[in-house]
Structures are given as C-alpha cells and as structure tokens.
Chains A and B, each alone.
Chain A
Amino acid sequence: MTVTPLLPKNAPFSADDIEALNKVVARSTPQQRSWLAGFFAGFEAAQGGGAAPAAAAKPRAPLTILYASESGNCESLALKAKKIAQKHGLDAKVFDMADADMALLAKSKNVLVFAATWGEGDPPARAVDFYAALMSDAAPRLDDTRFAVCALGDTAYAQFCAVGKAIDARLEALGGKRVANRVDLDLDFAKQAVAWSDDALAKLAPADTAASGTVVHVDFTGGAHADDDAEPAFTAETPLEAEISALVNLNGSGSSRETWHVEFAFDDARFQYQPGDAIGVMPENDPELVDQLLQATGLASDASLLLKIQKGYDVTTLSRAAVDNYAKLTGRSDVQALLDGDAFAKFSSDRQLVDLFETYSEKLTPEQLLGLLRPLPGRLYSVASSLKAHPGEAHLLVGAVRWNSHGKKRKGVASTFLADRRKAGSTARIYVKPNRHYRLPADGNTPIIMIGAGTGVAPYRGFIEERSEQGATGKSWLFFGERNFTNDFLYQLEWQDYKASGALTNIDVAFSRDQPEKIYVQHRLWERRDALLSWIADGARIYVCGDEKGMAKDVDATLVKILGGPKGDEDAGRAKLKELTKANRYQRDVY
C-alpha cells in the first residue's frame, strides 16, 4: 500500500493553498520531496536564522569540491560531481580555487579536486595563487583530510596532467589520505570523469549513509553556480549537425592572414549559447594525411579504415604515450630510445604521428594502428555572434593554421577542415561549451572595454550584437590588433556601422606591420591610459581575448602599469588588477 503524503487540514495555510500544495505534493516523487525539505531548510538558513527546520535531517558529511579551471572543463566536472555527491549523501560545496584559500582546505575533511593543466605544465591563471600556497612550506597539515584528485590535460603537451599530479602528491605529503586513485584524463575526458567521480564519491561518503529519504541540502551560498550550471543540450559527445550557411575568408587578397568567418545555421531551439561562450567543432581529418599514415603503416588499401580514422581519430598529436605504445608494439629499441632523456622532446618538436610512422615504417594491423590513436577531439572557437541578433545561427571566426615543418606542409585539423574541405551548404557537427567566466555584465549600463587581437575579436562581435539588440546603454570600447589595416581589419564594415549607431563608443586599432616599428594593442592601451583609468573608475569591465603568449601577457603587464598610477607602482597595479579579477571585472579568454 502506498501512502500519499497530504497536508493535514490544520496545516498553517489557507484552504486554497492547502489544496494547491496537495496537488503538487500528491504527484511528487520521494526525491522531489527530499529536495523541497532541503530547500526550505536552506532557505531559512540563508535568510539568517529564523526557526530551525522542523524536519530532523540527518547530518550529512560535508564535502569540499575544488576546481582549477581554465577553459571551464574542470568547473563543469565539479558541478556534475556536486550532483552525484547528493546521491552519496554528501553535503558538497563547490569552490573555484580562485576563491579558495588554505584555511578552507585545512578545515575540509573530505576534498575532491578537479585540476586542469595549462600550457607547458602550468596551473590555470585563476588558480595560480592557491596552487602556490599549497606548494609552499606554509601549507597546513592535512592529517584528517581524505581526498581524491582528477587531473585533466592534453597528451599533445609534454607535461601531461602535471598540475593534477602535483596536487595529488602534495595532498598526500601534507598528511592527507587518498581514498581513490588519481585519474589523468585527455581531451576525451567526459565519460571517464563521471565514472571516476561516482567511484571516488562513493569512497568519500560515510559508510552508513543511504541515498534515499535524506534531506537534500540546497546550497544558497554557493553563488554563481546555482542557476548557471545547466548542461548544454549539445556536447562534444552529442553534437548537433548544423549547416554551414556562409564561409568567407575575411582577409583581403594579398594578406598574410587567412581568417574565416563561418556561419552555422540550425533550427533546433535547444542549441543555445551566450556571447562569450565557445562553440566546439568536431572536425574530420585531411584524407591525404590519413592516407600518408596508412601508407607508412602498410595499410594503404583499406578504404573503410581510412574513413573511420578520418572521422574519428586524432592523427596529428605525437604524444609520449603513442611513442611508448608504438615501441612496445614494434619491439624496436630505437623507438624506445626516443623516450630516454630529452630525446622525445627533440624528436616530437613540430613533428606529428605520421613522421614517427614514416621514420620507422613498421607495418601495423588496423587494430594495432587504432590502438595507437586517441579519439579525435573537438576544437573550440569563441562564438562571434549573438543569438538575439542571429536567431538559429552561430558564427565563428577561424584562423586557418598552416605551416611547414621537417619538410612537410602541415595544416590545422579543424581550421582547414572548415577552410578547405567545407563550403557553404556543407554540414559540420558543433556543440556549445559555456564559458561562465567570460560574460557580458548583467547590467547593460556597465561600460565594457574589449581587448583582442586577430581572432580574439570574435567574442566582441557577439557582445556588441547582443548589447545592440538589448538596447543596452553602457559605453563600449574596442581595442583591436592585427597585422595590416587594409587587409586584416576583421569585421571592419560592421565596426563602422556600430560606431555610427553608437553601439560601439570607442575603437582603437593597432596594426603591427603597417609601419617600420611594431604597434600592438598594449601600445594603444598605454596611449589611452588616462581615459582607460576613468572608464575603470566608472565601473568598466575589461575583457581580453586572444593569444596568451603573443598578446594577453603583454596586455596584462600594460594594465598593471596603467593601474599602477602616475608613479607606475607595479605592486599597486597588480593588486588593483587582482581586485578587478576577483570582482569579475577583468575577464580573460586566452589560448
């Protein structure tokens, strides 16, 4: 017999309300009821006390989920883990390492870490301080702490998952107890990460908690994550097949650049994104390159294998793991020797898998070859449009990557997939990668300063379109850099229109190769420092998008100098910039 939970007639509500509430309660599941109980408990607590909740919720084991995220992957895994934690009876709070410190860590008894490795083995920019503190001698003992670490990385880089590995080792060294083995995940992390989280959380959970019948803790203090953690409908695992409705190289004839404006059209309303988000493109390999790979492994005649690899496998990344596997497979000591000392770094420098196979030209079976390849990852591009301005469309700005190395012409996988092997009318698989730390201010009156070079201008087109559609009145200022004014002024006519309509208040440009000396965006920032300071004083939010090494670093240093005031006090400038970062007023999307 099932008992339907109904409010008694003497409940402190009007008869109408009781009837209304019973309508909902009658068809609710036990889980929903748990949630409601937790919701009200949390709500009262958040209101600053009030009556203690009547429901005698069993105390739940607290869990601290820490993440160090650059592109948002670790953040999204942390948020997923939080949901799974509820199932395991854990009371989870999620913290960006940017907002966490050693004191928080020291009092956390259960810790789950998601850590990304960036560039050449560095922690994500926002996690730098936390990471340094953790590694320092002043780090607290963690003798009562239980932990598990999930490391994210990219096998294309030498220092694969270095940050996660270091955190894992450090937590142990500080006395922490590892409850689940660390996992090191490559670009195809999604499924494995969820499985690992489930396993690690089960181990972190107190042995006697059962999933059912407990009060679910609803976090009102967790901040931004509460309402912004909806998973996109289309992910790397479930992309949307969209039509390419326009494909134009925006650079004028004679340019040294090749930057493609790509418009995707779709009629699936679930494909939602916000300006600042990234759109992932699932590329296909250049069949010529796949063919070379097959030639080098003695599999040239296998057409179905070619197609399979073309669509689903990474054939460019020459990772340590691939060399190791290849050595084991072929039993060649000279291949094995590539892993000694700095031999790998030397050999892999600007080489790809095909070079390995061509150098040693060992025959492989199809299964052996596939075993050496990792799945083909999607490539992310900052969206260059606003859905409000272009319903059913997403626009990207894609720099075609082409270079020569070791006597071979090389091509960027996704960029030339679009530039060379797609045309208007073709389709491609795309998905949304939310970028929660790169968003327009909610308040349309907030001034924005947008700094970008090359394809780094992409999100600003989306920003200005969005603000223009919203009729936002906040001032806007674009700093754009490229090589040559005449041929490389990306979206020039549109900026002219926006300048004329007032949607764009100021624009400054830096074209590095138009004159004998190089002029970059940071030089323009410096020239306009007085006006910039006054905008910042007015509450302006600063955005930087583009190449980390080439531009973002120099922009950062220049902002420090500007914020340092007339005396150029760098420490003060750095502190001010940090303040802005904490206040979400300095947002970067760099790659």
Chain B
Amino acid sequence: MTDKRARNEIIKENSHQLRGTLAEGLQDVVTGNIAEDDHQLIKFHGSYIQDDRDVRGERAKKKLEKAYSFMLRLRIPGGLTTPKQWLALDRIASEYANGTLRLTTRETFQYHGVIKSNLKRTMQAINGAALDTIAACGDVNRNVMTAANPYLSKAHKQAYDLGKAISEHLLPKTGAYHEIWLDGEKVEEKVRKAGKSEEPLYGTHYLPRKFKTVIAVPPDNDVDIFAHCLGFIAVLEKGEVVGWNVTVGGGMGMTHGDTNTFPRTAEFLGFCKPEQAIDVAEKVLLVQRDWGNRENRARARFKYTVEDRGIDNIRAEVEKRLGYKLGKPKPFKFEGTGDPLGWRQTLDAKKDEDKKWHLTLFVENGRIKDVPGRTMRSALREIAEAGYCDFVCTSNQNVILANVASKFTSKIEAILKAHGVSTEVSSGLRANSMACVSLPTCALGLAESERFLPELLTSLEDSLDKAGLRSDDIVVRMTGCPNGCARPYLAEIGFVGRNPGLYNLYLGAAFDGSRLSKLYAQDVGKERIIELLDPIFLKYAKERKSGEHFGDFVIRAGLVKATTAGNNFHDNIKLA
C-alpha cells in the first residue's frame, strides 16, 4: 500500500517533535537558508523563511544566493502588550528586523527581514519580553484573537481571559522551542525514557493544517468570527458573560481554479457554559486532529472536515468526547467587523473616575513605521516610554492605546501631533481597509497587496467624492494570493491577486461579517477596477435604502448573487 499522506505529514513524523535539523542549520554560516524540510518545521516555531522577491533576478549574477530572511510572528493572545513589552518589541524591530513592526490581521506582530544569524538572538529578545512565537504559524492552534481591548468592559476582559487560557491550553508542549532558541535543556530522550509523549494533545503529527480560534463580544464582530475554525461568541446578561455560542468550520483560503476549495463561513455548534469553554476548544481540536484530511493539504483545514462530515456529525463527535450535550445557541446581534476609530471610554465602570480612555489608531495595513512627516513608530515609542497606556493589536491591523487615565489623554494627543500622526482617516473606505503583506517577502504572493492598496484607495476616494460617500463605512480588503490572510472574501469589496497587477474583484459580503462575497470581475487592473466601481458607488449613493450597507446593496441591485454558504461561493457567478 502506498503512503498517500501529504509530504508535510512525513516531515512532522520524522521531525523529533519539530526539532528537525534546525539547530544544525543555524550553524551553517555560508547560507542564509535552512534545510528544505526545516522550512515546514520552523513554521511551528512562529517563523517562515522568505526571500526578497524584488531582487531575485539580480542575485545569481552577483554570485549571491537568494536574499533569504525570516518572518517572525509573535503569539500575543488578545493582542495585549504592556508598555515595557512594546518598547522591547520596538527595539527588536531596529536591531534585528527591517525597522518596522507589522501588525497582522490576527492581533499580533510580525517582523520581517530577520536573517538567520540573528534568529536565535531575536527569539531570545522576544523571550526576554515575556513573549514567544510558539505556534504562531504551523499546523497547530494559532494565536487566539479576542474582542479588542480587555479594558473596554468586564465582558471583554472575560473574553480575553478565555482566549489566553485556550492559547496556553492548546500550545504545543515539545521541548524543541526551548532547546533550539533558548538554549534550554534537551528533553527528548528523557521524556522518551519515561515512556511519555512530548505532545499529549498533538501527538507526533500535530494537526492536518493550521487551526484558528477567536472570541467575540457582540455587537462587535471585529475578530471576524465566521472566518475561523473555532469561535466563541459571548452571551451576555447584565454585562456578564453567562456562556458562549460556539461556531466551527470557518476559513478563508482557497486555490485559484480549484472549485473544490472555497472560503467558508462558520456554522453554530451550540452553546457552552463559561467553565466548559476550554474543554470544548480542546475536543473540537481533537476531532479535527483525528478526522481532518491528511492527504491533501489544500483540503485539510477544519472547514472542509465540517463541510464533508456535516455539522451534526461534528457536534455528535464533540459531545461524545465531552461526555455532555451542548446547549442551543442563544440570540445575539453583530453590527460590524471594523474598529471604531478614535477615543472611547470604558463601557461599564460603575464610578466615573474608574472610567478609562482608549484610543484606536488607524494603522495603514498594520505597518508601524517612521516616514518623513509621519513618525508613528517613534510616537508610539515615546508614549510607551511615558507609560501612559497598554497597547492592544486589533484584528483589523490597528492599535489601541488602552487604559489611559483622563489626565494623560491630552499628553498622548500632543505626542501624536508632534509626530504628525493624525487620528483622522481620509475616508470611511480607508478606515475599513486591510491588506496582507504579499510582495516582496511573502512566497505565496501573486500580486502586490500592502504596497498597492493605499494608492488604489486614493484613486477610489475620487470616485467616492463624486458619489458623496467619503465618510461612509465600506469594508475593503486586499490579498496578494487566494489564501486570504486579510479575509478578503468577507469584505464588501474584496481584491485577490492573480497575477502581477491583476486582481479578482469580489463584492457582496455582509458588513457584519456573516456572509461571503461573490466574484464580480476577473483579472482586473487598477484602471478597470476604478471603471467598474465608479458607477456602482454612484448607484449606491442614489438608490440605497436608509442604513443599507454597500455589501447588501450590490445584491439587491443584482450586481452579484448572495453567497449563502461556502459551498455555493463558486456558483451563480456572472462576470462584469
């Protein structure tokens, strides 16, 4: 019988619990690369090897290998960091990375441009800030996102606490990370002799594919609950969490030209009590561990397991493993996926003096950097040095200066002003925009993303002005490939790169994140995109009903059919 398993399964199996030859590879100073199999394994340690695709053409002629470097992604459950941690992260960006901090779409940071000789010390510096990169990538439970800002209300704090607990509970337990990066004790042999497994939860093969968990507090769906493998939606009574609606089977990625792959919105598994949540998370993960597809990685995400087995079978299996039944989902309402920008006060403090302030700052595509006239990175560093606030990374690539005492708000504003950082955003479209990294570092990118979206939006803002829509909230997202890091299929306007300069244009997702979009135009460049959207903006401005969102309007106007579930994402397409 031939082994039909995907190559990654063999790599995991032979890896000695994610050790591979990483330690040896770090010693080889003549190359910035690591062994091929280690490319897969290092993901579990929170890192991807990448190369600068802008310069690929010139390297061999210059007798240089590809310009390899590593992307390092942190694990920050709920995105919360202290000012001290922020300063450490900021320093690492200068000392070892490319001088920027990149907020991801999943409430964490990543660094780009860390070369191999600096990998270990960067890991150690991160560890020195009481943070890590474990399981930030790889076939494991990734960074857990929670409704932005644990200081906003008691419920937000409960969501944050649960997220953090799940992240810890589902963390790989292998000693590989500590051995390789932190010079920790070598434990593999010891554990083996004791007849134990290093990974009681994950075993030797971990999950078939990545696994993403999020926690939302209605009415905000900032974490995009339906885009994730596993979700918990807070059910509130008098501002207290009395339980969680559990969702499963959401996910974004697909492959161009393969209709067997598709983005999928999550379904409801049931309701659980607060004290059951961690157990539920574990059992859902174990079902995917045992039932997920280990032969075809393009079909290995949990969303396909749910699609193929059916939600009822999944529920029955989870309940069987739990030993109890889940409740029926309770009613709730989401209003949107975006971050309310600007200052906000704590929602539920009893006394006025307990009310703290929280400033959500728009960060274009999550890239915190200094540019002439707008030195955001320096501004945030100065604020962190003063210790005015904690910092929260949001799932929309923004940052919240959280838990600010009233007396410091004007000081923060003064610092931001001095650094040319405005709290205003040029349009509602831009304020609700996200783009993935893509070129030049991401190996998967087929087209530009974060380097292109800003200028595209500037052009689209002219169209918005014509239609009088500049201040309307419209969700727009772009990715350089179909894997969907910026969750483009849940944007009212989504762009997915196909070829350099060419994108598929998707329309019609719900503003609250509950409905996927539909392909509207294929392989369109900048000019054509503007040509297509310009009249739609005008039509929307003229014909929309009161309170009607753009994504709903384009369906009512017949421009695209509604996608009601992942399995009809590829159906009923009529290209413009």
Binding site for B on A (CB under 8 A): 248-254, 261, 485-487, 489-496, 499, 507-509, 511, 514-516
Contact = CB atoms under 8 A, between A and B. Distances in A.
A492 B63 contact: yes
A494 B115 contact: no
Given A496-B30, A515-B96, A251 B117 contact: no
Contact of B64 (A487, A507, A516): A487
Interface of B: 29-32, 52, 54-55, 58-65, 67-69, 95-96, 115, 117-118, 121
A414 B197 CA distance: 66
B29 A252 contact: no
A454 to B, nearest CB: 15
7 contacts: A250-B64, A485-B117, A487-B64, A507-B30, A514-B115, A515-B118, A516-B95
A515 B65 CA distance: 20
Given A485-B115, A485-B117, A496-B30, A250 B67 contact: no
A259 to B, nearest CB: 10
Contacts of B52: 486
B69 A486 contact: yes
A493 B67 CA distance: 12
A254 B113 CA distance: 13
A252 B65 contact: no
Contacts of B58: 252-253
Given A252-B67, A486-B115, A508 B62 contact: no
Contact of A491 (B59, B63, B67, B121): B63
Given A495-B30, A509-B30, A515-B95, A248 B62 contact: yes
A514 B65 contact: no
Given A486-B115, A511-B117, A493 B65 contact: yes
Given A486-B64, A496-B31, 18 more contacts: A248-B62, A248-B63, A250-B62, A250-B64, A252-B59, A252-B62, A485-B32, A485-B117, A486-B67, A486-B68, A487-B67, A492-B64, A496-B30, A496-B65, A499-B30, A515-B95, A515-B117, A515-B121
B124 to A, nearest CB: 12
Closest 9 CB pairs of A and B: A493-B63, A516-B95, A509-B29, A250-B62, A492-B64, A486-B67, A491-B63, A253-B55, A507-B30
A493 B64 contact: yes
Contacts of B63: 248, 250, 261, 490-494
A248 B32 CA distance: 22
Contact of B62 (A249, A509, A515): A249
Interface centre among A250, A251, A489 (most CB of B within 10 A): A489
Nearest to B55: A253
Given A248-B62, A252-B59, A492-B64, A486 B121 contact: no
Nearest to B52: A486
A468 B58 CA distance: 27
Contacts of A514: 115, 117-118
B121 A492 contact: no
A511 B121 CA distance: 15
B29 A486 contact: no
Contacts of A249: 62
Nearest to B57: A253
Given A499-B30, A515-B95, A251 B62 contact: yes
Nearest to B51: A486
A327 B64 CA distance: 52
Nearest to A494: B63
Most chain-A CB neighbours within 10 Å: which of B30, B59, B68, B96? B30
B112 to A, nearest CB: 13
A486 B30 contact: no
Contacts of A250: 62-64
A249 B59 CA distance: 11
A531 to B, nearest CB: 14
Nearest to A517: B95
Contacts of B67: 252, 486-487
Nearest to A485: B115
B421 to A, nearest CB: 27
A114 B194 CA distance: 78
Nearest to A492: B64
Contacts of B68: 486
Nearest to A519: B117
Given A486-B69, A511-B117, A252 B64 contact: yes
B60 A493 contact: yes
A451 to B, nearest CB: 15
Contacts of B96: 515
Contacts of B64: 250, 252, 486-487, 489, 492-493
Chain B CB count within 10 A is highest, among A249, A493, A511, for: A493
A261 B64 CA distance: 13
Nearest to A504: B30
B33 to A, nearest CB: 10
Nearest to A254: B55
A566 B158 CA distance: 60
Contacts of B95: 515-516
A252 B30 contact: no
A251 to B, nearest CB: 7
A191 to B, nearest CB: 40
Contacts of A492: 30, 63-65
Contacts of A485: 32, 115, 117
Nearest to B59: A252
A515 B32 CA distance: 15
| Chain B CB within 10 Å, residue with most, of A261, A485, A487, A507 | A485
Q: Which of A251, A261, A494, A516 counts the most B-chain CB atoms under 10 A from its CB?
A: A516
A509 to B, nearest CB: 5
Contacts of B32: 485-486
Contacts of A252: 55, 58-59, 62, 64, 67
A251 B60 CA distance: 11
Nearest to B95: A516
Contacts of B29: 507-509
A505 B358 CA distance: 59
Contacts of A515: 95-96, 117-118, 121
A490 B32 CA distance: 14
A503 to B, nearest CB: 13
A507 B117 CA distance: 14
A362 B130 CA distance: 70
A271 B59 CA distance: 32
Most buried by B among A249, A486, A499, A516: A486
A485 B119 CA distance: 13
A253 B56 CA distance: 10
Nearest to A498: B30
Contacts of A251: 62
